[in-house]
Amino acid sequence: MRHEGWNVDEFIAGVDERSPQLALAIARDAPFGRLTTYRIGGTAAAGVEVNSVDDLMLVGDAARECGAPVAVIGRGSNTLVSDGGWHGVVVRLGAFAEWIHAEPADGHIGEPLVVGVGGSVALPVLSRRMASLGIAGLEWMVGVPGSIGGAVRMNAGGHGADMADSLIDVEVVDLQLATSGRRGCEELDLAFRSSALGGHHVVVSARLRGTVGEVDDVSRRVEEIVKWRRQHQPGGQNCGSVFVNPVPGEVSAGELIDELGLRGFRIGTAEVSAKHANFIQADSGGLADDVVAVMAVVRDRVSEATGFVLRSEVQLFGFN
């Protein structure tokens, strides 16, 4: 079976040469769209869960040799898969990247400390764990529905903070160069919702800054953020904010969309959220093509009315 110039059998054989056990774990027509927070869209040509950096490098080697594109998925936010699927290999990080190392904060209030965390840990999970230990500085993460790895790649943020404020360094695997190593925060060129890391870079762990705080105080701030999010952002099937603010701190994408009266604008099974204009909701069992169609109309209307060309935060797989 060939997909855009590469052969799934050849990819599996390439993995089998290196690790027969890992090759057995590869699935054809693997779930992809339903792994995203949109929970719509098709399958990937192949999929596998890796349980070590060595396995990740091995999959990268086999994919590179046969020309297969690779996507590493964490929590699936900011990701949309075509209804027709994607002709590539989707990789999930296993338990080796699902860990948190932090000691209970027992120093003086405000004293700095270091938190180690695996790349597939969900930001809300990390935020709540730190609150339970009295570690401050990562409360904002409770409102970001992604993983550490994805958050580093896009310099995710919210509530006046982002990854650049918290990050010390990361362990990165480069699937193109078949290398791994640590990179300091200053090497990542973190900017508003962007970084120097591309799709071939996989963040498998990170070290973050925290400070000693009071458990009750940190926990209260976490719950305040959760309450704010429930009041101002929709639940259901979406990917979080769709468009990057064109002028951070000054011009909001949501406000531009809202001013054009586009809340509730619908195409088929997708609509601009009535609760927050920078969210696009999908119906249960909806179509990814409808989401993309809504995105296109919103972008065109904002450009025509204001001159701002909105940049999407969403990674699209399988679309032309």
Just list the catalytic residues. 193, 241, 313
Identify which of 95, 68, 313 has the alpha carbon closest to the alpha carbon of residue 200. 68
Please give the backbone phi and psi of residue 92, each rounded to the nearest 5 degrees, phi first.
-115, 140
Angle between helix axes 123-133 and 215-232 (nearest 10 degrees) is 150
The torsion region of residue 307 among left (phi > 0), alpha (psi -120 to 50) and beta comes to left
Identify which of 133, 127, 149, 151 has the alpha carbon closest to the alpha carbon of residue 226. 127
Angle between helix axes 53-66 and 8-18 (nearest 10 degrees) is 140
> How many residues can be counted in the chain?
320
β-strand pairing of 315-317 with 179-184: unpaired
